[in-house]
Chain A
């Protein structure tokens, strides 16, 4: 198992820095996900770790050894690509055996190892086939076996599920996660799909314009977003501008003003004067009768109601025009459109975030 250290890494194409002084430590054996919108530099970072893109500054280490300028083929990586990248003129067996043959391993060992890994990804019966005769999911399984059979130090995957349909995506995703845990290999996984990231990762680095915006376990990223960008990218969050009245108290709560009421929210580690924005997820909000003088509530009018079977989604407009989305569980959401209601904020689940 290999630890990856990245220090002040910069990658530029021409004048523009695509990766901009990025530092991160990826623990040994970790399933580490680079998550972010298209164009934020995920692929570039992954390819720099692989050695296919050159760092223009900074250092990359595997277990402390400087890898920054080691050629890709000497890094001991395994790679899985979005387009599978199987060798079209070679059978499934020969594809998986390719890396072993390059290592001059004897035939018998190759046959045993290839067989074992094909079995592991559930492709044992397809050894003699050519890639063209496989479905997308099967191809990606073969690609996974090909990458793992050489027992690389790190496994790198660039959107390996993007070309698959929804159902397969979940199946292969689970296979990858299981296999990673079984083999215990340090894995860097690139995706733009937040659900995928939340489902399989030990740690997620949410990227924004060549930098890591927030790094943490899935629960932290989802439950404690530190910036409006993170809150917005993962899950749908209501981002509401407020005025800070009182910074964090002993319970870690801050007091903010929204229209004519004051709300208690989680200070979320934000410093004083740092933020005037709160994030609240629709499922963490509740609606109450307008008359109820409940604490931590703001009045608004139901503008739209959408019945979704297991829940009802409301759009409520506050007096200042700010729209807020509220998800209420249950099958019989009772508010009507046009009704005046109070939106109830949960102090623990409403976060002060940086804009």
Chain B
């Protein structure tokens, strides 16, 4: 590099690092520091109270148990479905292909809400079965938590495993069979070890998501104490008076997720097999009873996954009076009311998510470019910090931001900027990962070709690198948009009156039992999520999952 050019990149690196330190490291540091402070009233540190009060330990225990159960059930469903779709052809198989989209399209808060509309105390299914004298056990607590989370998170395992199975060279398996192993054993001994790292990686991801889950945990947990709920309650009810305990609980959550991610890295790093490029196995066409069974089972999974969406649409157009829903009687009242008298949450969501997407993608592209193409003594730290939000749940991040930016030279609490900051930070790892993987595939030689032709390095970035990255950036922007517009757990912590977003509004409406009105906002939210996806894939032919 020339003498002048590195300074540009070093300055940019220093700037990026400074931003990460201010908005990420500092809040986290504040959290940890505050958990070790001694409370004025209690005379104890947060940790002393944490270990002496059974409530807290129970919450941690429950969270871990829930994490293990949901991870296990999601893995069973996800892996089975992936194997079946990769290796067999059966009727209705095309339906399974839409699965990855459902998690993207249906925000967790809506999934929780719609399951309640079906199976909650006032749910359609609960009611109609009750009319026949059949009493379902309460959906609140463990059953609801496990079922809803499983059907939200199994798609992560499904997507991860499917990619691995498709990349797995079926010839290896055939080789094993030709050496005299039975087909069943060859799957066990040859394919599983190769695909295992992908399965483990996605399972552990699910575990971290369960630990950090806020929406489902709060709406369905009821008497089951969970860490994320307790953290939020501690924050919400005792704001200002007991920041020590909330910091302690947040630190515990960080610790659990950090350990999980560490294990994930270790497992994946140790067990990575070189998958030789080869043909994937051609799917076997099934007929008769087996095919019917498979089609039935797969469709059932798909149906359950899209059920929230159907319920939501119906609910939005159902006549309501207060919390009561008159199923079967259609009405535009909820929609009208939302659009005419209270459209603010929708507008807020649009504004905040659009701003956050623009900032987040811009930042991700610059950071990735520095980390991948302009390595210097600052970039390893940047790389590490950009991935750090993966280890922090939304609730924890929100609390960190609030206690840090409440006062001082950056008093953002009470403004929209803190919501946007929370959005940007939470989604940054995905944006950076996405942009990096694209950049790794762009040879440095095209930049050097441009420079050799007389175009300075920075101009080269805009003229050569950016255009090549454009499709990937567009895909990343759409994904970032869909996930920020649905964000709840951090924004519900940092928002203040008048700045409600759609998910926050939905959450509050459900909390007060106004399911019909919540459905209207839910539908609007889903439309806001789907519209860019449709535009991107239909009109611009962008492959949203290309670099995943």
Residues in chain A within 8 A of chain B (CB atoms):
50-52, 54, 69-74, 76-79, 81-83, 85-90, 98-99, 102-103, 143, 146-147, 150, 152, 156
Q: Which residues of B contact A77 (CB under 8 A)?
A: 452
The reply to whether B4 and A73 contact each other, CB–CB distance below 8 Å, is no
Q: Give A150 to B446 CA distance when docked, in angstroms.
A: 17
Closest to B457 in A: A73
Contact status of A98 and B450, CB under 8 A, knowing A73-B455, A83-B443: yes
Closest to B3 in A: A69
The reply to whether A99 and B3 contact each other, CB–CB distance below 8 Å, is no
Contact status of A72 and B453, CB under 8 A, knowing A79-B448, A81-B445, A81-B448: no
Q: Give A306 to B62 CA distance when docked, in angstroms.
A: 79
Q: Which residues of B contact A150 (CB under 8 A)?
A: 453-454
Q: Give A188 to B470 CA distance when docked, in angstroms.
A: 35
B451 interface contact, C-beta 8 A = yes
Report 23 cross-chain contacts, Cβ distance below 8 Å, ordered by A residue: A52-B451, A54-B1, A69-B2, A73-B455, A74-B454, A79-B448, A81-B448, A82-B445, A83-B443, A85-B445, A85-B446, A85-B448, A87-B464, A87-B467, A88-B468, A99-B453, A102-B453, A102-B454, A102-B455, A150-B453, A150-B454, A152-B452, A156-B452
The reply to whether B467 and A71 contact each other, CB–CB distance below 8 Å, is no
The reply to whether A72 and B445 contact each other, CB–CB distance below 8 Å, is no
Q: Count how many chain B residues have C-beta atoms less than 8 Å from C-beta atoms of the other chain.
A: 25
The reply to whether A89 and B449 contact each other, CB–CB distance below 8 Å, is no
The reply to whether A73 and B456 contact each other, CB–CB distance below 8 Å, is yes
Q: Give A85 to B5 CA distance when docked, in angstroms.
A: 21
Within 8 Å by CB of A87, from B3, B4, B456, B468, lies: B468
Q: Which residues of A contact B450 (CB under 8 A)?
A: 87, 98
The reply to whether A72 and B451 contact each other, CB–CB distance below 8 Å, is yes
The reply to whether B453 and A146 contact each other, CB–CB distance below 8 Å, is yes
Q: Give A69 to B468 CA distance when docked, in angstroms.
A: 30
Closest to B452 in A: A79
| 8 additional contacts (CB under 8 A) given A73-B460, A86-B449, A102-B455 | A52-B448, A54-B1, A86-B446, A87-B449, A89-B470, A90-B467, A102-B454, A103-B454
Q: Which residues of B contact A88 (CB under 8 A)?
A: 446, 468
The reply to whether A71 and B452 contact each other, CB–CB distance below 8 Å, is no
* B471–chain A nearest beta-carbon distance, Å: 9
The reply to whether B443 and A70 contact each other, CB–CB distance below 8 Å, is no
Q: Which residues of B contact A143 (CB under 8 A)?
A: 449
Q: Which residues of B contact A90 (CB under 8 A)?
A: 467
Q: Which residues of A contact B459 (CB under 8 A)?
A: 102
Closest to B466 in A: A89
* Nearest 5 A/B pairs, CB to CB: A71-B2, A99-B453, A85-B445, A79-B452, A85-B449
B residues 428-477 near A (Cβ < 8 Å) are 443, 445-446, 448-457, 459-460, 463-464, 467-468, 470
Residues in chain B within 8 A of chain A (CB atoms):
1-5, 443, 445-446, 448-457, 459-460, 463-464, 467-468, 470
Q: Which residues of B contact A156 (CB under 8 A)?
A: 452
Q: Give A73 to B452 CA distance when docked, in angstroms.
A: 5
The reply to whether B449 and A146 contact each other, CB–CB distance below 8 Å, is yes
* A136–chain B nearest beta-carbon distance, Å: 14
* A49–chain B nearest beta-carbon distance, Å: 11
Q: Give A98 to B464 CA distance when docked, in angstroms.
A: 10
Closest to B464 in A: A87
* A152–chain B nearest beta-carbon distance, Å: 8
Closest to A149 in B: B453
Q: Which residues of A contact B463 (CB under 8 A)?
A: 98
Q: Give A354 to B463 CA distance when docked, in angstroms.
A: 52
Q: Which residues of A contact B452 (CB under 8 A)?
A: 50, 72-73, 77-79, 147, 152, 156
Q: Which residues of A contact B2 (CB under 8 A)?
A: 51, 69-74
Closest to A95 in B: B449
Q: Which residues of A contact B468 (CB under 8 A)?
A: 87-89
Closest to A77 in B: B452
The reply to whether B449 and A81 contact each other, CB–CB distance below 8 Å, is yes
* A50–chain B nearest beta-carbon distance, Å: 6
Contact status of A87 and B446, CB under 8 A, knowing A51-B2, A72-B2: yes
Q: Which residues of A contact B4 (CB under 8 A)?
A: 71
* B423–chain A nearest beta-carbon distance, Å: 30
* A188–chain B nearest beta-carbon distance, Å: 13
Q: Which residues of B contact A74 (CB under 8 A)?
A: 2, 454
Q: Which residues of B contact A85 (CB under 8 A)?
A: 443, 445-446, 448-449
* B540–chain A nearest beta-carbon distance, Å: 15
* B463–chain A nearest beta-carbon distance, Å: 8
